[in-house]
Amino acid sequence: MTYRVCFVCTGNICRSPMAEHVFRARVEEAGLDGLVEVDSAGTDGWHEGDGADPRTVRVLTENGYTSEHTARRFHRDWFARLDLVVALDHGHLRTLRRLASTPEDAEKVRLLRSYDAGAAASDLEVPDPYYGDLGGFEECLKLVEAASDGLLVSVREAVGGQVA
């Protein structure tokens, strides 16, 4: 059975595609790519059909990650097929939980940095780098990478530690 994870930010061109590509790499390195499916979307449809922000692509590529992406908007009916919906900040968390039709669907929504053992409970957001310079995208990558390790542990437990 495939475990499905979807990362969600606002426009699906910066943070969530970055998280998608980083986490997909972690899943593949762990030999779980046959068991875990990784995706991303945005809470809004402003950039539907667009590629990732060029700064996201640059930071991913410079750090050895893939970057192929087409932005899309998250739809509430996706909860039925997803096991985990990972929000990049508290605004996304609230929006996604409001979209959830059932308490079970709302429970599927978690903040990415909640998986980072080094993150303070008061600092669980991945800041939006869109309006800043390249440094904001590099910082975003560091936060995503740090949280992805803990997320992988959780997902591995959810799939029973099986190896594909």
Catalytic residue, candidates 44, 50, 128, 149: 128
Closest CA to 1 of 81, 103, 110: 81
Q: Is there a catalytic annotation at residue 9? A: yes
Residue 39 falls in the annotated catalytic set: no
Torsions phi, psi of 126, nearest 5? -100, 110
Tokens in use for 158? 């959810």
Catalytic residue list contains 128: yes
Among the options 6, 14, 15, 53, which is catalytic?
15
Which of 9, 24, 89, 113 does the annotation list as catalytic? 9
Asked whether 148 and 16 are in contact (CB, 8 A), the reply is: no
Cβ 49 vs Cβ 16: under 8 Å: no
| Torsions phi, psi for 85 (to 5 deg) | -115, 120
Q: Which residues are catalytic?
A: 9, 15, 128
